[in-house]
């Protein structure tokens, strides 16, 4: 599934990925703003046209608190969850926060 945003960003980013050599070069990539996400989710509820996987693959949905405006839904697949859990576990391990403490 390829959203409108994927097609636009794919064309905009094409060729720039090789130019990314430093953190400041990330500005060359087309990132979505929070307002773009809100508008998209309002227009095409609940996930908007920024969904990176099919809706059938969504395993969990997170919702922001909306402290800077209306809330935003983030859809996660099983693979997203596994990566998030692994990343958090590595961060805890790096801080020596293991189960044996």
pLDDT digits (tens, 9 = 90+) for 13-70: 556 566 778 888 888 787 888 899 999 999 999 999 888 899 899 999 999 998 888 8
SS3 (DSSP) at 53: coil
pTM tops 0.85: no
**Per the structure block, which two tokens stand in for 2?**
């390829």
Residue 50: per-residue pLDDT: 85
Q: Which residues contact 86 (CB under 8 A, 6 or more apart)?
A: none
95 has pLDDT over 50:
yes
């Amino acid at each position: 599934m390829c959203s409108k945003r994927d097609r636009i960003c794919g064309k905009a980013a094409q060729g720039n990925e090789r130019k990314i050599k430093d953190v400041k070069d990330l500005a060359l990539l087309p990132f979505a703003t929070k307002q773009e996400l809100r508008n998209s989710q309002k227009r095409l509820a609940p996930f908007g046209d920024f969904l990176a996987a099919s809706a059938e693959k969504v395993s969990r949905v997170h919702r922001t608190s909306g402290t800077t405006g209306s809330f935003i839904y983030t859809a996660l697949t099983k693979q997203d969850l596994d990566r998030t859990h692994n990343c958090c576990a590595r961060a805890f391990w790096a801080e020596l926060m293991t189960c044996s403490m």
